[in-house]
Structure 1
Amino acid sequence: MSSDKRSTGIESLDKVLDYLRLGDNVVWQVDSVDDYIEFARPFVYEAINNGRRIVYMRFADHESIIRNNSSVITYELDAQDGFESFSTTVHNIIAREGLGVYYIFDSLSDLLSVWATDLMIGNFFYITCPFLFELDTIAYFAIIRDRHSYDLISRIRGTTQLLLDLYCYQTDIKTYYLHPLKVFKRYSYTMFLLHVLEHGNFIPIVNSIQSATLFCALQDRKLGSKQKYLDYWDKVYEKAEHIYNMSKNDGSDFLPEVKETTTLLSKMMLTKDARVLELVEKYFTLEDLIKIKSRLIGTGFVGGKSLGMLLARNIILKDKEFDWKTYLEPHDSFYIGSDVFYTYIVQNGWWRERVKQKTDEGYFEIAKDLREKMLKGTFPPAIKEQFIQMLEYFGQSPIIVRSSSLLEDGFGNAFAGKYESVFCVNQGSPEERYECFEKAVKIVYSSVLNEDALTYRLKRGLQHKDEQMALLVQRVSGSYNKKYFFPQMAGVGFSYNTYTWKNDINPDAGMLRLVFGLGTRAVDRVETDYPRIVSLDKPMLKTHSHKEDLRRFSQQDVDVLNIEENSIQTISVKKLIGQKLNMDMDLFGIRDHEINRKLREFGINDEEAWIITFDKLFTETPFVKIMRHILKIIEKVYEYPVDIEFAVNFTNRTPQINLLQCRPLQTKGKGVKVRFPQNISQDKIIVKTNGNFMGGSIDSNINKIIYVNPEGYSKLDNTKKYEIARIIGRLNKEYIDPNNDRVMLLGPGRWGTSTPSLGVPVTFSEISNVTILGEVAFSSGGLMPELSFGTHFFQDLVETDIFYIAIFPQTKGVLFNSNTFGKNHFSTVLPNFTQFQNIIGVYNFNDNIVRFRADLISQKVLCYLD
């Protein structure tokens, strides 16, 4: 035997295969794991005798391939952790073990019980086999015959070095037959014939009569199952449809099968979270799940956003308070399964980069390059065809591609605004519409690796969790008005209102954030614009008290889809209504006669001024009653506060609500009443104000303050203002110890704005470690705060336990005293940026106690030197 040949431990098998070679992956296709064991153990014993390093990858429930043996290194793996975690763990083990190691894997078929699809087994083999080959290993795998699809067998055949069919034929005695299907770079005249094991020797069957007889006998054993070459996923759904049809005819006789199948499908497609699964099994029928499957592209989970939307709708439809068919617009959605995301990464050859990105060293750095690559990949033909058929179904109706990751919209992790949603106006030829749709999918996929999302996962200890991205594709709710398409109104709703700006507002009544047109302006923190905030127990109560503020603090612009330009567009309320819309505007606002008079004086006839108030919507329709009821019945079922996104269209004055999203709401309640000290000296007070805060009641010590001086900041050009934002990010990362520091960050106008003239344009990842975030009004510089309750910005603050306050120093009763800060340590902390030491102040209070107190009930805030 030459030095590069290795034995299987069975001499006659070595002769058939011309031995094994370093780099060989050997896949045994068997009828049972017992047959695999018969040939794996001799390989192990031979390797041990020759002093080889043997590694056993143990992950299945079947009998152990290797008996307890101190010469074998066994890794106990848990495939329940998900494809990415499992595959990454295996990859890291192989990398750590190094060159020339021998491997035994459990039967890959057992992975079906946790991954539910051949696609993911194929992906695992596709990324693992070449890595083993590069390291000159020899590895044994097994799959159970007739349990898998043609596609999986084809992928294994195309990747492995040896594919061996092993039959065990039982008559009077047990007889093994071996049929080599692929043997890489080896050949003999009899190698690919059927071989029979007789008296310890594999003998090729060269007689045609004997070969035909044996093959026919082996084939006869496999007859009678039309499902044998279907993916496991498809087998389960064929069985589910059969049970459903039988249950319709035979009723209670099939109840146990219906319940068992419903649970199985729920775990395959909706969730494995025990808390959510309990709700799913209560509110979803087998028919519901079969309908979801009919709209599913690929395989895997539909993701958190899709599940939240579907669950909330089912909860509402079971309620008897209203005729929901009148008030609830049907959804018309498709789902792109989470397995498609990993398949996209694997088949484009990016898996190893994905593994490196999951390490501490590569977490942010490698993400940049991988994010760019994900915008340029290709999809498998079968997935492309399903995309095309879905687009044919929608025709030229506008659609939106929304993230629906596995971790999204769950209890404790909302991921609000972390991932992209992309509108497809969906105009043009089929080829053009497909190109736009595929681009949208890639944008959402790549957003898994954006810096804000990575920071969010890191702060919540989720950086090593599987984050598969499923997608929700929804028909956009709305109608055509001239060249524009949009819903008449949209918004977000909360079953619990933590922004009670008046003492007599009941937070349990919930609140809404409403806009005219697309809901993008309700969920995002929009510059120079003001959605309507509605406390559901006092809907006519406005957040501003003076009549002259009515126009200023109302919605100025509308987001719409421009059909002619095939794009989303922002247009002023005046210009849009000036198009003579086919809708009853009295529901949404009041005519602004003063502005209209001025428009006519200037000869402007294509604009019409309205102030968006929604007052008649609240007083003349059942909208408020319906929304309050929706929020409360979902909250009751969840046993937890919830928030929803919705769009609304009207038939006459009857609202038809399209529920787009639902998730558990991350809130901070009132807690205990906070007590404030009496007779604090004015020179000890840092901040004193009433209201204008978010984050519940708080009583905390502060040991550091970072302050961006409003007057100095306002004089900078935009380039320098962006530089200030990056420096804040540097301080957030390098100066703040999130485990020990409690930091108050104060700055002018709006944190996180995209317009530097309105505030400091930081990203969430650049302020993620602060404890209290304050926005300070500087009216002469046009830098004014905006309380953005209900937006993704607000959700970021709540979920990361950041308290928010807006400070208006020129308002009566408000104090803000930056002279209490003491010595500025900026030049010591960042000596290379001393040109900004008069703009950014860094203050340490290790020798003094800074107390920050806020009380939600009394709406008081006080920060002072104690």
Structure 2
Amino acid sequence: MSYALREKISTGNNGLDLILDHLRLGDNVVWKVDELSSYRHFVGQFVERSRQQGRKIVYMRFGSGELLIEPCTDVEIVELNPRLGFEPFATEVHRVLTSRGRGVIYVFDCLSDLISAWATDYMVGNFFQITCPYLLSLDTVAYFAVRSQSHSLDTMQRIRKTTQVFLNLYNHQGSHYVHPLKVWQRHSPTMFLPHRDQGGEFVPLARSYEATSLMSRVLEGTRDVTRQLDHWQLLFLKAEELLSNGGPEEEQKRMVVHLCRHLMGKDERVLQLAHQYFSLADLLAFKRRMIGTGFIGGKTTGMLLASNILTQSDPDYWQHALEPHDSYFIGSNLYYWYLIHNDCWSLFMEHKEHEDHNSPAAQQLRARIMHGKFPTAIRQEFETMLEYYGQYPIIVRSSSLLEDGFGNAFAGKYDSFFLANQEISPEERLEHFEDIVRRIYSSTIGGDALVYRRKRGLIEQDEQMGLLVQRVIGSYQGHYYFPDAAGVGISYNTFVWDSAMDPQAGMLRLVAGLGTRAVDRAEGDYARLVALDHPGKKPYHEGEDTRRYAQKDVDVLDLNANDLRTVPFQSLTQKQMEHALEKIALRERRTISRKGKLSQPHINWIPTFDPMLADTDFAERMQKAMQTLEKVYQYPVDIEFTVNFRADGSYCLNIVQCRPLQTRRLGQRIDIPRDIPDSHIFLRQQGNFVGGSICCDIKRIIIVYPQAYHELSLAQKHELSKIVGEINAVTSRTEEPTLLLGPGRWGTTTPSLGVPVSFSEISNMAILAEVGWERGGFIPELSFGTHFFQDLVESEIFYVAIFPERKEVTFREQWIDTLPNELDQFTSLASDFEHAIKVCTAPTSLCLLADVLSQQLMCFSAEPVGDNA
């Protein structure tokens, strides 16, 4: 059926009906007005006629002005809050439209009121572009208004292109004038002329002098070129003018507050810091390095704050040591533009109804995201940025609205990617960069991110994705590029492995090369853990353990391969690391015998970082940095950093990330009883745990047996991981606190090193234990400071590494063998895996106590569990 032949709907004004040949089911009617009172006049006529015809009427209320429709029994008023963000607002509108069904009459408040909430009217255009087609599909009729001179030409063109009916409404010399600019699939000789309201009848201005008089008056308000700019552009133009003219300090401060709310996000505690440490000049400098509009996100804000906090706290101390940033910021609004203009929004809404990353909608959405296109203007800005960096490697990092805020770290939940920038042509470099942006956008609907948001109660919150583009801090060393050292710093150390250590002193996790091996659990490798009040002490015995628990591989950017690579530390020659090797590593002379030749000495280098910690002020400086940041944040902090040595032996430091640390404080001192009979002790050891002091009554035990797991096939190991996930899904931490024991590293990607679960498959455990079994190659790693660690502390999961083969450790695994296996209650595969995994209920009270200050841990039962049972 032709659109013009659809059911006709009256506007409530007979004269207007004649002009437009009535409205049609499916019409979106946009009124461009000088005064909202004029819009209210025509809304009233439309609503009254619709009421007389018994139609369902819904008023979408979000403006700050007077009500367009007074409350009455046959008009439903839906209150909406645009300040919650674009996504929650658009999602709620979609839900209302879906639930109210077909053939409904809608009246929306003035769309221009959304600008104050979203800063840019570009997003107003986005909202209309996704809402109008959906209303059309539901056979509704909807009224909208926009204020003249409040929107950019681009936004007005987008709205006009999308809607079915677009009307200019003027109030001139006491009369209403309606000038139709678009009436879809309807036409008459005078339809698109201005019409004057004469007592309910609309008369076209058929005489040229009448049209000239009206339109000349209208044109007077459109001559200012700034009125054609987006609200975002006007806001920053005003800020530039205020700064360049030396405006009053109080006015500049008010502008800082205003800009921070539109740039930094909604976390009030972060915004307070931004108001204090960012000047108007700072914010305008950030804007000049920004692509697109919207929020720069939590990760970017944290990095910028850290730099300003330190340099303002002690300029002389930090000016020379800190390397300045030259990052670019991709605004979060581009994320929504990308979804909308690549026909992803309907799938996005379908996906949000269930938030299931494995649903067909989610899979289609990810595929569509990976094949979308960027606007020409944005691509040109991408090109300019890439030309600026040239062939220096860069890293593209997620910087979402909720990321790195107080209470939510999102550590490792979204993807980041290196770009070595060694492509043959600029065109290839741009394609590679755009593909990386797509992959990060796609990660917003990945399983880990969705599970995290659900567990943290963030599903309904606005989560826009901004991006942080940073030059990779480092240097060219042969055909590799990497920093001399990198790591993670934590201002509050709950893993103090010596009673003399002070948790308040903080700790570091140090690696040579790129920091990826510090923030992720490196398979079969170790970072150097540093307690900043005792930097020389190691969490293991000197001697053979020094080599065993040292870093063996280094992550670098291989410029020949144009990609991230892992290489043996020993392959990096002294020439490649001439300024750094003797500062981060110790020489180890070993005698090597070769067949048919005499024994000869060979020098190995072990990256212990001992010289750097002993001979420079690095440990002291890092401690001061974190204590300064913690004092300002009034909260423990977690930082990521890089270190590069200069030719003169000094070093430069770069803080690439700073966020509030999501960790439990020391808490109440736990007294470990001395009178527990040895036969009642299931586990006892000194240290090797993370999570502060704890007292936990254990109701359930799950154990994966090391030798049985070792003998499983690769496919069976992955199947066993799924079984753990199934048990986790029905486990309540409050009702049945569960101890999960397994060989080696939980969450590894290498099944030969441990059980390859995702974090979402162990997220409901109360206590996570990694059990060492050296014969099978299962060695736990105390991954303090990694993304894995962040997940544990945010979820309040206590972690312990158990080394049964050490004589000072008591671990009576055989006691579990005496308990019945309840695996068949959780999986249909019980008969195939009951030899490898056991689920059992503790028959007596089983309690785990740990005291972080004394580093004592004991798990014991009210009844005997040992040899004397």
TM-score (norm 1): 0.96
Residue 692 of structure 1 contacts residue 805 of structure 1 at CA under 8 Å; is this kept in 2? yes
Give the CA deviation at 1:597. 8.2
SS in 1 for 2:313: coil
Q: Is 1:6 aligned to residue 9 of structure 2?
A: yes
Task: Find the counterpart in structure 2 of residue 451 from structure 1.
Answer: 447
Residue 836 of structure 2, aligned match among 815, 834, 839: 839
- Offset of 1:555 from its aligned partner? 1.1
Q: Look up the equivalent residue of 1:394 and give its one-letter code.
A: Y
CA–CA separation in structure 2 for the residues paired with 1:600 and 1:419: 55
| Match in the other structure for 1:213 | 213
Q: CA deviation at 1:282?
A: 0.7
CA distance in 2 between counterparts of 1:229 and 1:157 reads: 15
Structure-1 residue corresponding to 2:239: 240
Q: What residue is the counterpart of 1:676 in the other structure?
A: 672
- Cα distance in 2 for partners of 1:640, 1:600 equals 63
Structure 2: runs of 5 or more not aligned: 863-869
Number of the residue aligned with 1:858: 854
8 Å CA contact retained: 2:589, 2:603: no
Q: Does 1:798 align with 2:801?
A: no
Distance 1:596 1:793, change over 3 A: farther
After superposition, the CA RMSD in angstroms is 2.0
Shift of 1:831: 3.0
Secondary structure class of the residue paired with 2:572:
helix
Bigger mean CA deviation after superposition, 465-474 or 826-835: 826-835
Determine whether 1:49 maps to 2:44: no
| 2:340 aligned partner | 346
CA contact (8 A) 2:511 2:518 kept: yes
Q: Provide Cα deviations, 1:525-568, integer angstroms capped at 9, x if missing partner.
A: 00121111111111111121232221221111111111121111
3-state SS of paired residue (1:452): helix
Match of 1:314 among 300, 308, 311: 308
Verify the 8 A CA contact 1:148 1:229 in the aligned structure 2: yes
1:423–1:668 CA distance, 2 compared to 1 (3 A): same
1:154 aligns with 2:151: no
Distance 1:518 1:479 in 2: 11
Change (3 A) 1:75 1:602: farther
1:848 aligned to 2:848? Answer: no
Q: Between 321-330 and 152-161, report the one with greater CA deviation.
A: 321-330
Q: Contact conserved, 1:266 with 1:280, CA < 8 A, in 2? A: yes
Flag the 1:604–1:31 CA change in 2: closer, same or farther, 3 A: farther
- Partner of 2:701, secondary structure, is strand
Answering whether residue 472 of structure 2 is matched by residue 469 of structure 1, we say: no
Q: 1:283·1:314 contact (CA, 8 Å) conserved in 2?
A: yes
CA distance in 1, matches of 2:780, 2:789: 13
Q: CA deviation at 1:363?
A: 5.8
Among candidates 731, 741, 748, match of residue 746 of structure 1: 741
1:67-146 correspondence to structure 2 within 5 Å:
67-146=70-149
2:706 to 710, 718, 736: 710
Amino acid at match of 1:548: E
Deviation at 1:125, TM superposition (A): 0.7
Provide Cα deviations, 1:707-753, integer angstroms capped at 9, x if missing partner.
101111111122211111111111111x3134522111101111111
SS in structure 2 at match of 1:703? strand
- Alignment correspondent of 1:623: 618
Which deviates the most, 189-198 or 573-582? 573-582
The question of whether the paired residues in 1 share the 8 Å contact of 2:726 and 2:826 is answered with no
Question: For 2:676 and 2:410, how far apart are their aligned partners in 1?
Answer: 41
Quick one: which of 164, 169, 180 aligns to 1:166?
A: 169
Aligned-partner Cα distance in 1 for 2:252–2:46: 45
Identity within the alignment, %: 47
Please, which of 666, 674, 685 is the counterpart of residue 689 of structure 1? 685
Deviation at 1:3, TM superposition (A): 8.0
1:69 positional shift: 1.6
Distance 1:18 1:538, change over 3 A: same
Q: Which amino acid aligns with 2:153?
A: Y
1:111 maps to a residue whose letter is L
Does structure 1 residue 661 correspond to structure 2 residue 657?
yes
Where does structure 1 differ by over 6 angstroms across 4 or more consecutive aligned residues?
595-605
Measured in 1, the distance between the counterparts of 2:563 and 2:85 equals 38
Report the AA paired with residue 85 of structure 2.
G
Query: In 1, are the aligned partners of 2:574 and 2:581 still within 8 Å (CA)?
Result: no
Change in CA separation of 1:764 and 1:230 when aligned onto 2, cut-off 3 Å? same
Pair 1:772 & 2:767 matched: yes
**Correspondences of 1:351-362 after superposition (within 5 Å):** 351-360=345-354, 362=356
Which residue pairs with 2:537 in the alignment?
A: 541
Residue equivalent to 2:553: 557
How big is the shift at 1:827?
2.1
Q: How far has the Cα of 1:314 moved from its partner?
A: 0.6
Equivalents in 2 of 1:273, 1:15: separation in Å?
Answer: 52
2:720 and 2:574 map into 1 onto residues whose CA distance is 41
Q: Is the 8 A contact 2:193 2:205 kept in 1?
A: yes
Pick one of 10, 14, 29 that aligns with 1:26.
29
In structure 2, the CA distance between the partners of 1:457 and 1:3, relative to structure 1 (3 Å rule), is: closer
Match of 1:129, SS state, is: helix
* Residue pairs, 1:164-563, within 5 angstroms: 164-170=167-173, 174-223=174-223, 225-247=224-246, 254-320=248-314, 322-360=316-354, 362=356, 364-365=358-359, 366-428=361-423, 429-563=425-559
> 1:704 is paired with a residue of what secondary structure?
strand
1:823 aligns with 2:820: yes
Partners of 1:169 and 1:222 lie apart in 2 by 16
8 Å CA contact 1:356, 1:363 repeated in 2: no
Per-residue CA deviations over 1:818-853 (Å, capped at 9, x if unaligned) read 3333111112332334210111101123x5322111
Query: Which residue identity is paired with 1:232?
Result: H
The alpha-carbon deviation at position 817 of structure 1 amounts to: 1.8
Counterparts of 1:391 and 1:163 in 2: how far apart (Å)? 41
CA contact (8 A) 1:709 1:748 kept: yes
For 1:676 and 1:19, the matched residues in 2 are separated by: 83
Q: Which runs of 5+ in 1 are unaligned?
A: 248-252
* Structure 2 residue matching 1:358: 3-state secondary structure: helix
Q: Distance in 1 between matches of 2:53 and 2:626?
A: 69
- 1:339 touches 1:468 (CA, 8 Å); kept in 2? yes
Q: Give the drift of 1:315.
A: 0.3
1:323-370 per-position Cα deviation (integer Å, ceiling 9, x unaligned)? 322100010100111111111111111112222222247465243442
Give the number of aligned pairs: 854
Change (3 A) 1:108 1:600: farther
Alpha-carbon distance between aligned partners in 1 of 2:823 and 2:214, rounded to the nearest angstrom? 84
Q: Structure 2 vs 1, CA of residues 52 and 571 (structure 1 numbering), >3 Å: closer, same or farther?
A: same
Shift of 1:608: 6.2
Paired letter, 1:541: K
Quick one: structure 1 residues 601 and 772, their matched pair in 2 at CA, closer, same or farther if it must change by over 3 Å? farther
SS at match of 1:166: strand
Q: CA deviation at 1:684?
A: 3.1
TM-superposed deviation, 1:580:
4.2
Tell me how far apart the structure 1 counterparts of residues 431 and 193 of structure 2 sit (CA, whole Å): 48
Distance of 2:734 and 2:640 partners within structure 1 = 34
The answer to whether the Cα contact below 8 Å between 1:268 and 1:301 also exists between their aligned partners in 2 is yes
Preserved CA contact (<8 Å) 2:593 2:600: no
1:250 paired residue number: none
- 1:131–1:667 Cα change, 3 Å: same
> What is the Cα deviation at residue 377 of structure 1?
1.5
Distance, in Å, in 2 between the alignment partners of 1:410 and 1:741 is 31
Equivalent position SS for 1:449? coil
Q: Deviations over 1:105-149 (max 9, x none)?
A: 000000001111122111111111011101110000000011101
- Name the counterpart of 1:637: 632
Per the TM alignment, residue 256 of structure 1 is displaced from its structure 2 partner at its CA by: 2.7
Opposite residue 188 of structure 1, the aligned amino acid is S
Q: Is the 8 A contact 2:27 2:136 kept in 1?
A: yes
